[in-house]
């Protein structure tokens, strides 16, 4: 079994935070017409604002659904309506990752384009279900925080937040005292601006041509990437996908089933392609460079596990209010939220799929390799995590997204000789459903809820997993 490779360099992600201006009323419209709009930072940014106690009912905004207005009832914290720098994604974090948030989290935001406030929207409380495994170097870094799911709200410049504790909540996951009607300490709202994706120009040093990653001379030797583009961190991330794609590639092209020999060798090099005949055709995959990942955020180096025995399917729980053209920005926001706000070493998921069926590279380290993720607490080792962008509890997942999950798993699981219709055994690293060290029998294609007590991937996406297993196996060419 291959050993773990861990980076010794931490994430340098201290964000400069501006103190927002409080608005005079919750329903204040857009800024005055003469005011200059705040520019979107090309590299993205995060505003982290502390949540304070909310006053009696007279001081509160009217019409907050499901929230008590009595100061004697469970603790309520939040943020009064205010103007802030532009952002597109929100989430709530707190200091201690082992403390669970039992309660309701709601936000409303002001759209830049119209100056109007949204209705109140619920944020899923999340509670550690997507996180590094306990006892790993990543979870013990001292940077990991508790966090809700993120919510994509689009280009916004105003926010109001309310969090109310649930009375009589169960004990915390760490086995501490009952949470009762209290909220975790150090709660903050994270406002994430995804920034823009700067173009990267690939230049072939042999003939001087600029263009795609695979240059006209048919090789990648001597290829370099010109500014504004490839930093050392970007080169490290991109090189992990060689030889599937050249250095600086924005996508990894689709391949027919018969052409996946190099993919099998790239996976771990321990078996020949002939020994793994059931590899599905490779789907087109947009690389981290393609969706604009800021490689300076993550820890350098990669962490690998021994193999890939299972794929866990997730939904991002970030809402469905995005266009497919916005999916790279959604992914950049999720990445920044996972690293800067939640304190992980990189994006938690190994892959993401948007509602139009486009597949994206997730955590860095090489799409064909067994990269350790932070997607299913307790079962990140020897598995991969695939997140369908959106929320599929009451919304049916698009057929294109479901098809893409089948295509991706047929290819990636095939590289490690896994039958998507079979079961496998994983050892729990600890969580809220299985004790650490427990051997658990799981489907090779499982939903997040199979390994952790959660609603993820939403009941309507979860219902698509049985036919996905069948389709994935057929794409591998299995009888």
Question: pLDDT tier at 74 (50, 70, 90 boundaries)?
Answer: confident
Task: Report how far residue 389's alpha carbon sits from residue 315's, in angstroms, rounded to the nearest whole number.
Answer: 6
The domain 267-476 is classified under which CATH number: 3.40.80.10, 1.10.150.120, 3.40.50.2000, 1.10.3720.10? 3.40.80.10
Looking at 66-70, 233-237, 330-334, 393-397, which range is the least confident one?
A: 66-70
Strand 251-252 to strand 351-353: parallel, antiparallel, or no bridges (unpaired)?
Answer: unpaired
- Is 171 buried (19+), middle (13-18) or exposed (0-12) by CB count in 10 A? exposed
| Contacts for 42 with CB less than 8 Å, ≥ 6 apart | 195, 196, 198
Using N-to-C axis directions, what is the helix angle for 399-415 and 465-476, rounded to 10°? Answer: 50
Looking at 38-52, 55-69, 255-269, 344-358, which range is the least confident one?
A: 55-69
Residue 399 has pLDDT above 80, yes or no: yes
Number of alpha carbons in the 13 Å side-chain half-sphere of residue 173: 25
- Report how many helices (DSSP H) and strands (DSSP E) the chain contains, helices first: 7, 23
Number of alpha carbons in the 13 Å side-chain half-sphere of residue 237: 30
pLDDT of amino acid 411: 96
Mean of the pLDDT values across residues 349-377?
96
**Among the ranges 203-207, 228-232, 276-280, 302-306, which has the highest mean pLDDT value?**
302-306
DSSP string covering 41-89, please? Answer: PTT-EEEEEE-EE---GGGSPS--TT----TTSS-EEEEEEEEEEEEEE
**Chain segment 5-39, per-residue pLDDT in tens:** 333 333 333 332 233 333 333 333 333 333 333 33
What is the signed CA dihedral for 411, 414, 416, 417, rounded to 10 degrees?
A: 180
Token digits of residue 398 = 């698009």
- Is 416 buried (19+), middle (13-18) or exposed (0-12) by CB count in 10 A? buried
Name the pTM for this structure: 0.82
132-136 long-range contacts, CB within 8 A, separation 24+? 132/344, 132/345, 132/374, 132/377, 132/380, 133/374, 133/377, 133/378, 133/379, 133/380, 133/381, 133/429, 133/430, 134/377, 134/378, 134/429, 134/430, 134/431, 134/436, 135/429, 135/430, 135/436, 136/380, 136/429
The domain spans of the chain are: 41-193, 267-476
Strand 310-315 to strand 383-388: parallel, antiparallel, or no bridges (unpaired)?
Answer: parallel
Residue 295 has pLDDT above 60, yes or no: yes
**Chain segment 423-476, per-residue pLDDT in tens:** 999 998 776 677 888 899 999 999 999 988 888 999 999 999 999 999 999 999
Location of structure tokens 């490690």: 416
**Chain segment 152-182, per-residue pLDDT in tens:** 999 999 999 999 998 765 544 444 434 447 8
């Amino acid at each position: 079994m291959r050993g773990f490779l861990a980076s010794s360099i931490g994430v340098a992600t201290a964000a400069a935070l501006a103190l927002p201006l409080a608005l005079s009323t919750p329903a204040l419209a857009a800024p005055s017409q003469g005011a200059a709009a705040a520019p979107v930072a090309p590299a993205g940014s995060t505003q982290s604002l502390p949540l304070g106690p909310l006053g009696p009912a007279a001081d509160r905004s009217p019409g907050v659904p499901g929230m008590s207005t009595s100061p004697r009832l469970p603790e309520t914290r939040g943020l009064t309506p205010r103007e802030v720098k532009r952002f597109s994604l929100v989430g709530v974090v707190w200091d201690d990752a082992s403390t669970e948030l039992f309660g309701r989290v709601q936000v409303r935001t002001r759209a830049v384009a119209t100056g109007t406030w949204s209705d109140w929207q619920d944020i899923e409380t999340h509670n550690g279900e997507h996180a590094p495994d306990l006892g790993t170097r990543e979870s013990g870094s001292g940077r990991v925080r508790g966090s809700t799911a993120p919510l994509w709200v689009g280009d916004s410049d105003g926010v109001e937040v309310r969090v109310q504790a649930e009375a009589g909540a169960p004990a915390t996951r760490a086995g501490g005292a009952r949470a009762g009607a209290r909220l975790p300490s150090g709660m903050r709202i994270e406002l994430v601006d995804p920034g823009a994706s700067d173009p990267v120009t690939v230049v072939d040093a042999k003939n001087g041509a600029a263009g795609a990653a695979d240059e006209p001379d048919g090789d990648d030797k001597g290829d370099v990437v010109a500014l504004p583009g490839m930093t050392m961190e970007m080169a490290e991330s991109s090189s992990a996908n060689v030889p599937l794609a050249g250095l600086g590639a924005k996508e990894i092209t689709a391949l027919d089933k018969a052409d996946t020999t190099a993919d099998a060798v790239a996976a771990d090099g321990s078996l020949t392609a002939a020994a793994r005949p059931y590899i599905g055709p490779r789907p087109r995959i947009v690389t981290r460079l393609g969706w604009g990942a800021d490689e300076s955020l993550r820890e350098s180096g990669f962490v690998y596990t021994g193999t890939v025995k299972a794929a866990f399917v997730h939904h991002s729980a970030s809402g469905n209010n995005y266009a497919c053209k916005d999916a790279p920005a959604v992914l950049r926001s999720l990445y920044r939220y996972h690293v800067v706000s939640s304190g992980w070493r990189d994006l938690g998921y190994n892959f993401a799929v948007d509602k139009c069926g486009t597949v994206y590279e997730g955590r860095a380290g090489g799409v064909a390799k067994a990269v350790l993720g932070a997607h299913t607490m307790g079962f990140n080792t020897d598995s991969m995590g695939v997140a369908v962008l959106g929320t599929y509890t009451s919304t049916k997942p698009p057929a294109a997204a479901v098809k893409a999950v089948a295509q991706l798993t047929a290819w990636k699981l095939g590289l490690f000789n896994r039958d998507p219709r079979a079961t496998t055994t994983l050892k729990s690293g600890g969580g809220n459903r299985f004790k650490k060290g427990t051997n658990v029998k799981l489907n090779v294609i499982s939903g997040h809820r199979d390994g952790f007590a959660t609603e993820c991937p939403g009941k309507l996406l979860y219902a698509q997993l049985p036919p996905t297993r069948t389709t994935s196996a057929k794409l591998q060419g299995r009888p």
